[in-house]
Structure 1
Amino acid sequence: MLELLNPAIAYDALMDFLGAGGNVLLIIMFVTFFMWALIIERLMYWSGAHGGVAKRAQRAWSARNDHKSWYAHAVRDRLISEAVQEASRFNNVIRALVAVTPLLGLLGTVTGMVEVFDVMAVTGSSNARLMAAGISKATIPTMAGLVASLSGLIFINAFDRNVEKASHKISDELLIE
């Protein structure tokens, strides 16, 4: 296991895995990297930047002299909306990528099975050794798509809960006097 810390061995293992999974696995890998880049950006936002966004909304509300008029209510709603919009940025993109990765895995399954049927048609038999490459191209992308989707699903649910909590908290903090 420690040999995988060697970059050359890790690279060879990754290339072997991508080769066994076919071209669709490469697409799943890029989509997953993009999804995780957005997840990491959201984690960084929630670990630090959200406090600043909430304080900026509080300062803007506190700086107002009028808290009772219709216009003040509209300003309060705008401040809450801007904070919630900032908190939920990229959530829909992550949600879409979570939905797309299993479908890409299914595409890999279909292309792998087509390869299996192609081998069967060319050889005229069901030789297991000849079909093994197609079977791996059918199962590995499915597994990768599901794993990528599940990893993103955990975080998007947490982000949605954080947005809901932040919305209620900011609404409570911007009191109408």
Structure 2
Amino acid sequence: MLNLVDTWLPWLGDLLELGGPILSLILLIAFVMWSLLFERLYFLSWELPKHLGVVVALWQQRDDKTSWYAQQFRENLQWEVRQGLRRHFPLISTLIKVCPLLGLLGTVLGMLEVFDALAATGSNNARSMAAGISKATVTTLAGMVVSIFGLLGNLVAEGRANAAGDRLAAFFSQTQDD
């Protein structure tokens, strides 16, 4: 796998080597998070309109729209759509919150390497401390960058999901008034 990475993206192998296993974990979390975000955006753009068409057709087929049973049916339809809209957002939010913490863990591990180098050499030799400092810096930066861009992507996806839920609620409140 690393040979494949070195062939296509030689700088990525160097970066992974600098950041250590924490950076690899941050990149894995970023991949999972963006996969979930793209799935949500795909669902909201292409699958949700079809699903809403089915929900609207189910509601409009009902002859009785004012009874208690009709209202329960309407609320159940809305609940199912809202559950579909909210799918994966709690996990995405958790992954966003974990990335800076992993970056801080990488910082701590990098600083431990610096202190080990200081203890081993007995002096303040900059070369012996460079690996630890780079690990601390790279993992912190990666954790923050992944978190910030994940937060922006999550805001876009949640905004679209909330707008779709609001449109559905407006449709049902309009049909209830009719």
Q: TM-score if structure 1 supplies the norm length? A: 0.92
Map 1:67-106 onto structure 2 (within 5 A).
67-106=65-104
Unaligned runs of 5+ in 2: none
Give yes or no for contact 1:88–1:159 (8 Å, CA) kept in 2.
no
CA distance in 2, matches of 1:168, 1:106: 38
2:156 maps to 158
Query: Equivalent pairs: percent with the same residue?
Result: 40
Which of 139, 142, 150 is matched with 1:141 structurally?
139
Gaps of 5+ in 1: 1-6
Q: For each residue in 1:11-67, what CA deviation from the matched residue of structure 2 results, as whole angstroms up to 9, or x when unmatched? A: 321110000111100110111111111011111112211101211110110111110
Paired position in structure 2 for 1:4: none
Instruction: Encode CA deviations 1:85-133: one digit per residue, 9 max, x unaligned.
Output: 1112111111110000111101100000000000001111111111011
Partner of 1:20: 18
Are the aligned partners of 2:100 and 2:140 in contact in 1 as well (CA < 8 Å)?
yes
* 2:162 aligned partner, one-letter code: E
Q: Secondary structure at the match of 2:9?
A: helix
3-state SS in 2 of match to 1:126 = coil
When the two chains are superposed, the root-mean-square deviation of aligned CA atoms in Å is: 1.5
In structure 1, the partner of 2:64 is 66
Q: Which residue of 1 aligns with 2:36?
A: 38
Per mean C-alpha deviation after superposition, the further-off stretch among 103-112 and 10-19 is 10-19
Aligned partners of 1:74, 1:101: CA distance in 2, in Å?
Answer: 42
* Matched residues, number: 172
Which residue number corresponds to residue 119 of structure 1?
Answer: 117
For residues 9 and 18 of structure 1, the distance between their equivalents in structure 2, rounded to whole angstroms, comes to: 14
Compute the displacement of 1:156 (Å).
Answer: 1.1
Moved more, 152-161 or 105-114: 152-161
